Amino acid sequence: MKLRRPKYLVETPTSAMNDIAFILIVFFLVCASVEPEDGRSQVIPRSEKNEDRQTSQSTEVGLTPATVTIDGTPYRLNEFQSRIRQILAQKKTEAERVVVLKSQADVPYEHWIAMTGIIERAGGIVTLLLEEEQTVNLN
Amino acid sequence: MILRRKSVEATVPSMAMGDIAFLLLIFIVLLARARDESHLVWQPATGTELVKPANRNASVVIDKQNVTYLNGRPVQVENLAAELEALLGDLPAGGRTVLFKVHKDVIAEFFEPAIEAVSEAGGELHHVLEPAPNPSAVP
């Protein structure tokens, strides 16, 4: 008597491949599009306008990595918030509420963003005071 | 004599579908990477009251190594204003959002000139931040 060997299925089932591939496409697309975008908008006046705005009425805030000053007077970080609110509450016009921010070169971004956040929440308009390098030829 | 009609199988060949889907997948992933900034190493600073930007016209990143990128491409800070102006063109106010992504430890020497460049180009700055784990701790 001849015994027949049974035929096994040796082919890989390919019908599910489409679904797998499309799910992978969706997965990669979703991964690629998830980038953080939440944050805070900030209006910084154009530099040419700044010169007009920097009048004696505007408040000057100085930033170093550890301290913060208002018109030259140093404040602790917890005092700064209440003091800047107090000062800006007295200002009536937009031009008066301009706060000139002068940062030392080594101020980290995290500190800068926290301090400008306080100023803006207090109603101030932040404008930057940057140091410019100039070459002067002496004869 | 009765002639039997040949039965013809009319199935869609699904064997190649997997390959087509994978090619599509590679194509889409490559396209996504062209606009992707995931290769840039930066950690956002923390903030409170974060909002989503209304639109997204350009993205400026300053990474851990203090290198400035415009839309994922390295750029000199001196050229940033001109390149942003070319990108933003004559877009109306409210539609000139520039996402500003700065590593939290980058110092003012590097990020302030970039802020000035955005301002010069008439861009509307949107600092990308992450929500503070304990908002009451943020000054």
Give the residue with greater pLDDT, A59 vs B134.
A59
| A-proximal residues of B, 6-25, CB under 8 Å | 14-15, 17-18, 21-22, 24-25
- pLDDT higher for A51 or A128? A128
Shortest CA distance to B122 belongs to which of B100, B93, B101?
Answer: B93
CATH of residue A57's domain is 3.30.420
Kindly tell me if the per-residue pLDDT of B54 is higher than 50.
Answer: yes
In a domain, A136, yes or no: no
Residue A71 lies in domain: 51-128
Q: If contacts are CB pairs under 8 Å, which of residues 63-92 in chain B contact chain A?
A: none
Mean pLDDT of B126-137: 79
| Residue A37 in domain | no
Residue A64 lies in a domain: yes
Domain assignment of residue A114, yes or no: yes
**pLDDT at position B93:** 83
The 3 state secondary structure assigned to B10-78 is: CCCCCCCHHHHHHHHHHHHHHHHHHCCCCCCCCCCCEECCCECCCCCCEEEEECCCCCEEECCEECCHH
**A87 within a domain of the structure (yes/no):** yes
Q: How many domains does chain A have?
A: 1
Residue A137 inside a domain? The answer is no
Q: Write out pLDDT tens, residues A59-115.
A: 899 999 888 999 888 888 888 888 989 888 888 888 888 899 999 999 999 999 999
* Spatial contact of B62 and B37, defined as CB atoms under 8 Å apart: no
Please check the confidence at residue A54 and state whether its pLDDT lies above 60: no
Q: Please judge whether B53 and A36 are an interchain contact, meaning their C-beta atoms are less than 8 angstroms apart.
A: no
The pLDDT value recorded for residue A53 is 47
A91 inside domain: yes
- Crossing angle between the packed helical segments B77-88 and B108-120, to the nearest 10 degrees: 30
User: pTM to 2 decimals?
Assistant: 0.72
pLDDT score for A34:
65
Residue A45 resides in a domain: no
A133 pLDDT band (50/70/90 cuts)? low
Q: Establish whether this prediction's ipTM goes over 0.85.
A: no
Q: How far is CA B39 from CA A26, A42, B35, B75, B111, in A?
A: 21, 26, 11, 16, 20
